[in-house]
Amino acid sequence: MVARLNPQVRHGRAFGSYGFHKSIGYTAGPLIGGVLIWLGDLTLLFAVLAALAASVAIWAALAVPAVPPLPKARQTLLGLVRRLTDGAFLRPVAALAAATAALSAGVGFLPLSGAAAGLSPLATGAAVSVLAACAAFAQPWAGRRLDDGRLTTGGGLVAGLLVTAAGLGCAMLPGPLGVLTGAAAIGTGTGLITPLGFAALAAATPRERLGQTMGTAELGRELGDAGGPLLVAAIAATATLTWGYAALAVVTALLPLALRPRPVPAAEPAT
């Protein structure tokens, strides 16, 4: 719907705004939840969330325009497989999956690093909020520059992956410095990747197939969401958490090389 309701020249801003508000929810939700539990108990928390969900549902029913499905030609299973294995689909989805893997690993394991460094639960929670805030504000920035032609999807995705890998490398540093710099860089890198990845998918997909493409892309992100923490945890269980960060950093940093477009061989001149 985000892609359908906005012209292609504004897809960067649209997906940047979408990601911004989503990240604000990630940032504010735990903080507001903590306050509600402090004021009352879990019953108050669930009552407020239920009222919020109902209010937003009514607002959406009144404010969101209808987006009817577009007419489309019948699709074969072979055609679907070809489209989902094309580089124009795989490259953005792989970048989105890597970003989600790093984000989930950061949210899950940076508090452990902070606790090991002697930080209080409040300080480690603040570090996670730094990660979410950096991701929130990087997304509309990247989207605007994409729409203005000052950033390309390919270059932006590579930059985001390298910044994310650098953040995982920073998380290997001991003490509060590693936790805070790692959180800031991981959040910034994933914030660059998210709107650019979705904009690239929307640009390479026929409008009548946007729902299918975005749904499949979200499946890729969910795999990253599960795979990133599992990779870090598996290595941390046999070595240390530092080596877990290192492994995910290496995978993220090497991904641009694996996903770069292959050169098209030049046609032989006719004889």
Interval 22-37: pLDDT, tens: 888 877 777 788 788 8
Q: Tell me the pTM.
A: 0.81
> Which percentage of the chain shows pLDDT scores above 90?
38
Interval 162-217: pLDDT, tens: 999 999 999 999 888 899 999 999 999 999 999 999 888 888 888 888 888 888 88
Q: What average pLDDT score do residues 148-165 get?
A: 91
Q: Which residue has the higher pLDDT, 212 or 152?
A: 152
**DSSP letters spanning 106-161:** HHHHHHHHHHHTT--HHHHHHHHHHHHHHHHHHHHHHHHHHHTTSS-HHHHHHHHH
Cβ neighbours for 169, distance < 8 A, ≥ 6 positions apart: 182, 245, 246, 249
For residues 262 and 107, give the distance between their C-alpha atoms in angstroms, rounded to a whole number: 35
> Residue 269's pLDDT band (boundaries 50, 70, 90)?
low
Cβ neighbours for 99, distance < 8 A, ≥ 6 positions apart: 160, 161, 164, 189, 190, 193, 194, 197, 224
Residue 223 and residue 97 in contact, taking contact as beta carbons nearer than 8 Å: yes
CB 60: neighbour CB atoms within 10 A? 9
72: alpha, beta or left, given left = phi > 0 and alpha = psi -120 to 50? beta
For residues 42 and 153, give the distance between their C-alpha atoms in angstroms, rounded to a whole number: 43
* Of residues 24, 184, 187, 183, the one with CA closest to residue 111: 183
In the predicted model, is pLDDT for residue 264 greater than 50?
A: no
For residues 204 and 197, give the distance between their C-alpha atoms in angstroms, rounded to a whole number: 11
**Alpha helices, DSSP H, located in the chain:** 11-39, 42-63, 77-84, 87-116, 121-147, 153-170, 175-203, 210-238, 241-259
Residue holding tokens 């300080």?
123
Give, as one character, the DSSP assignment of residue 8.
Answer: G
